[in-house]
Every structure is written in structure tokens, then in C-alpha cells.
């Protein structure tokens, strides 16, 4: 959230003539309700995100998107990260989510490389406020902070793909200069030859 992942993925896809896989957040029917009342709408929110992401990845496979390099602005595992935060108080809902997640996960491609754009919570929250998406207007700082910490914890042990961590606290938007910096940190060979890159 607010780290610049969508812009980065789009620019990388353009730079390397690859395909862009953009997270379809606006298809989610419950996201506004969730930010207004996270406890009440957590389960349907996480299940729907899981279904949306799974559907996107399966359709991309069916449509031949992976015949060329793909640069995505989401990682399938993000649903696991969020659910570990939002469903932790309901063992039954967490179990249902986990079963569905475990069913889907072996059926999708693993990324070749994951670019984790790390930023402090205050910066992420400020960017969320500035972009002023209608469904995010009720989002709380404490929630963003908890999710941000959960991402850091997740990537401390993530081993399913190569991970490159980039601190973006001093990047305000992604200019050509900053894109060059990201490419330099990640590695031209990794980005130019990665069939399934995820910017997270």
C-alpha cells in the first residue's frame, strides 16, 4: 500500500517490453465496508481478495500472458499476510481461509523474483491520504502500521523466490532516475529475464 509498486511494475514492463499484471482492487465489492468496519467485514474481504488474485493469475495463464515476461504489482502471498492480521481473532474464519488458500496456491506460478519496496508507515499513510481513493478514506494508521510490520516479518523468512528489498522512503513517485536506481539494485539480468516478476 502506497509504496509505489503499481507505478514501478508499469514502468518496468514498459522498459523491458513485458506484460503488466495489475491488481484489480476496484473489483472488490467489500473493500469500502472493510475500512469502515474491519472486524465486521474482514472475512468476506480476505476471501474476495484471494478469489480476485487467484482468478487474475489463472486467467493470465490461460490467455498466454506468461509467454513473455510478466511484471505484476501484487504477490499472491499478500492475501496470507493480510489474513494473518485481520482474521487472527476468529479461528474458524482463519481456518476456512487457510484451507482455500492452501488449495489455490499450488495451482499458480511462482515468481522468479520479488521486489519488496519498503517504506515507513508514516510515509505510506501519507501517500494513501494524498491519492484520496474513495474506498481508502476510512483507513486507520494503526491498521497500516500493523500490515507494514507483517510484510517485514513475512519477507524475513520468504524463500520461494529471490527477493530484492529497496528502501523507498526518499522516493516521491518513480521518475526515470529512480527507476534506474531500482534496476541497478535489483539487477538488469534479473529484471530483463524474469518471466514472473512481482513488485510488492
Q: How many structural domains comprise the chain?
A: 1
pLDDT value of position 56? 94
pTM across the whole model: 0.86
Q: How high is the mean pLDDT in each 10-residue block of the chain (200 residues)?
A: 77 86 86 88 95 95 91 94 95 97 95 90 89 83 95 93 84 63 67 51
**CA-to-CA distance for 200 and 188, rounded, in angstroms?**
18
What's 153's domain CATH number?
Answer: 3.40.50.300
pLDDT value of position 195? 44
- Look up the domain containing 86 and give its range: 5-199
Amino acid at each position: 500500500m502506497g509504496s509505489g509498486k503499481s507505478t514501478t511494475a508499469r514502468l518496468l514492463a514498459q522498459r523491458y517490453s513485458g506484460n503488466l499484471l495489475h491488481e484489480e482492487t476496484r473489483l472488490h465489492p467489500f473493500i469500502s465496508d472493510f475500512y469502515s468496519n474491519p472486524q465486521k467485514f474482514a472475512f468476506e474481504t480476505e476471501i474476495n481478495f484471494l478469489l480476485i488474485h487467484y482468478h487474475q493469475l489463472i486467467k493470465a495463464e490461460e490467455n498466454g500472458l506468461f509467454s513473455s515476461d510478466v511484471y505484476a504489482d501484487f504477490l499472491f502471498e499478500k492475501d496470507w499476510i493480510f489474513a494473518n492480521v485481520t482474521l487472527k481473532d476468529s479461528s474458524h474464519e482463519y481456518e476456512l481461509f487457510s484451507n482455500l488458500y492452501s488449495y489455490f496456491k499450488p495451482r499458480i506460478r511462482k515468481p522468479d523474483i520479488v521486489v519488496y519496496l519498503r517504506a515507513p508507515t508514516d510515509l505510506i499513510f501519507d501517500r494513501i491520504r494524498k491519492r484520496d481513493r474513495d474506498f481508502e478514506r476510512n483507513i486507520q494508521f494503526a491498521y497500516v502500521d500493523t500490515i507494514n510490520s507483517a510484510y517485514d516479518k513475512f519477507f524475513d523468512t520468504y524463500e520461494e523466490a529471490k527477493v530484492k528489498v529497496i528502501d523507498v522512503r526518499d522516493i516521491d513517485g518513480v521518475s526515470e532516475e529512480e527507476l534506474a536506481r531500482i534496476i541497478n539494485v535489483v539487477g538488469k539480468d534479473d529484471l530483463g529475464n524474469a518471466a514472473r516478476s512481482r513488485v510488492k
